[in-house]
Amino acid sequence: MTEVRTAAVTPPAAPPTADPGPVPRRGWRSALRTWSPLLVLLVFAVLPYSTISVPGIFDGPVNAPGTLQLLAICLVFGGLAAGYDLLFGRTGMLSFGHALYFAAGVYGTDILVTRAGLPLWQAALLTLTGGATLAALLGAIALRTAGIAFAMVTLAFAQVGAILVARDFGGLTGGEEGLPLDVSGLPAMLVGVTNTVNLYWLALAYLAVVVFVVHRVTGSPTGRVFAGLRDDERRIGVLGLDPYRFKLVAFTLAGTLATGGGVIYCLLVGGASPHVTSSELTLSLLVMVVLGGPGTRWGPVLGGMLYMYLDHRLTAFGASSAVDSLPGVLSAPLSQPLFVLGTVFILAVYFFPGGLAGLATRLGPLRAVLPLRRPNSAP
């Protein structure tokens, strides 16, 4: 027999190619998305150290107590709108009684500190627990209905809370005059105009916690069920999941986040007033979410902050001498902040249906026509 030996065949070497040059960096967009929230948080955290004045935007420098308080209120309502979007934009539940849980945080903190004399940390913990329990109990009842019936039931619960506050139930709420906060029971770092910066940082921390919680929940399997409930509730039931339980979880979590915002708001304004129990506040939250973009990560936050900023600034603008000097046909509507806000909202919904968060998508064709990248230069 002859032995046949096979030689290893090596593939021919590839012909040399021209050097493609440096590989372009393609990960900067994803890195920007990852780190931009932390950068924005850092910028807001160091704002109290800035002495920059922005005429027309703020009445004084950025680190002025009045400016910091306005920014803190905007931050609180940005977090409040993000929590409400967990119901409306993420789960598809239209609630007209979300202000009840915000009011529970405001009045609960004030009553426990002023009437009961508890330390702030105990009052805050008890208020959060009470707000979560209240949201769970009322949600268990309201979620037996759906659609418009659900919205009306939540509105009825909120109206009951507003009546109890207005009639000074048990002599605790102060009735129509409200209930001033007893600052003697608060830490010294949260009392006084000079400590407004600490309240500002507290409001910023609240917003960061709300955004973190909402983002983690919506990115989890539970959040995907929430999205399924928004799109097609019957499909969730066909998959063997209980829609009622998941909706109750979303309702309770959103109510708890709103209660936490009420705790911070009570410290910011130094007390409680009946306007926080009105159904107009819930309607304002709905406007904030739609203005920013429901179901988006940053849209409700931007919508809430912009709405509250305009609400405060337009009130001062309507009472200014510049408006009084205008003819009556102009000064009359411009002196009403709600009229101006309504006009802005209508224009925003008409021209930007996706809200502020959808501006990038709407401006996409414009960027394609006017590219920002410069063409490569000829060798």
3-state SS, one letter per residue, for 25-71: CCCHHHHHHHHHHHHHHHHHHHHHHCCCECCCCCCCECCCHHHHHHH
DSSP code of residue 16: P
- pLDDT for 324 beyond 90: no
Contacts of 293 (CB under 8 A, 6+ apart): 299, 300, 302, 303, 354, 355, 356, 357, 358
Say if 305 falls within a structural domain.
Answer: no
Encode pLDDT of 199-251 as tens digits.
999 999 999 999 999 999 999 999 999 999 999 899 998 988 999 999 999 99
Tokens (6 digits) for 1: 């027999």
- Picking from 196, 158, 177, 174, the residue whose alpha carbon sits closest to that of residue 285 is 158
Does the pLDDT at position 131 exceed 90? yes
Residue pLDDT, tens place only, 35-63: 788 888 899 999 999 888 888 788 889 89
Query: pLDDT category, 14, cuts 50, 70, 90?
Result: low
Predicted TM-score (pTM) of the model is 0.85
Residue 6 has pLDDT above 50, yes or no: no
**Mean pLDDT along residues 82-87:** 95
User: Is residue 256 one of the residues assigned to a domain?
Assistant: yes
How far is 23 from 25, CA to CA, in rounded Å?
A: 6
The total number of structural domains in the chain stands at 1
Q: How far is residue 190's CA from residue 199's CA, in Å, rounded to a whole number? A: 6
- 153 CB contacts (<8 Å, ≥6 apart)? 97, 141, 142, 145
Residue 368 lies in a domain: no
Please state, as a whole number, how many other Cβ atoms lie within 10 Å of the Cβ of residue 232: 12
pLDDT surpasses 70 at 280: yes
| pLDDT at residue number 358 | 73
Residue 215 lies in a domain: yes
The overall average pLDDT reported for the chain is 85
Q: Is residue 153 domain-resident?
A: yes
Residue whose C-alpha is closest to residue 157's, from 244, 99, 243: 99
Provide the pLDDT for residue 369: 56
Report how many helices (DSSP H) and strands (DSSP E) the chain contains, helices first.
Answer: 16, 2
Give the tens place of pLDDT for each residue, 132-174: 999 999 999 999 999 899 999 999 999 999 999 999 988 899 9
Answer yes or no: is 221 within a domain.
Answer: yes
Instruction: Report if residue 175 sits inside a domain.
Output: yes
* Residue 157 amino acid letter: F
- Region 99-120: what's the mean pLDDT? 95
Q: Note whether residue 16 is domain-resident.
A: no
Q: Quick check: 265 and 105 in contact, CB under 8 A?
A: yes
Among 66-75, 252-261, 306-315, the minimum mean pLDDT is found in: 306-315
End-to-end CA distance of the chain: 66
Tell me which of 63-77, 198-212, 278-292, 345-359 is least confident.
345-359
pLDDT of residue 214: 95
Residue 164 sits in which domain range?
Answer: 65-279
